[in-house]
Amino acid sequence: MLFTSRTLLSLVSLAVFATPGLGQQLQLNCTAGAAAFNCASFVPSFCSSMGNITTINGNSTYSGCFAGPGPNQSCVLTALSTISSPFAVNVTNCASALNAVSAVCPMGGVGMFTAAIFKFAIDPNNGACAIPIGN
């Protein structure tokens, strides 16, 4: 079987990001959106901002929209709690999951470690971030 360099890099990247915690495996679901570009440069900022939050309410999301990487493009990064009680985000899992999604899924997708509380998603968009109400 022939592999392109991008495919091989993606497989290697997935192997590197697959086990931040012992016994955890990363499950990825890529999406087939309209936009396809790399949002990896926004992962550190998004995940570190989550480290400043004590907890996220159960069954809630925390999202950030980042302008770029090109003109009239944006990247929406999201953490979704899968349990009903408040819980703190594991910043290492956030970065590992989102970096793997970015490496393997050019149109975005979702990553979640087994036995983890949060799903992490990337959604690249053609278009700018929406302006928050009140600004």
pTM of structure: 0.79
Candidates 91, 86, 82, 84; CA nearest to 118 is: 82
In a domain, 135, yes or no: no
In a domain, 12, yes or no: no
Side chain identity at residue 104, one-letter code: V
| Ranges of the chain whose pLDDT falls below 70 | 1-23, 131-135
pLDDT in tens, 96-110: 999 999 999 999 999
Domain region containing 38: 26-126
Residue 14's pLDDT is 44
| CATH number of the domain bearing residue 91 | 3.30.430
Side chain identity at residue 62, one-letter code: Y
In a domain, 19, yes or no: no
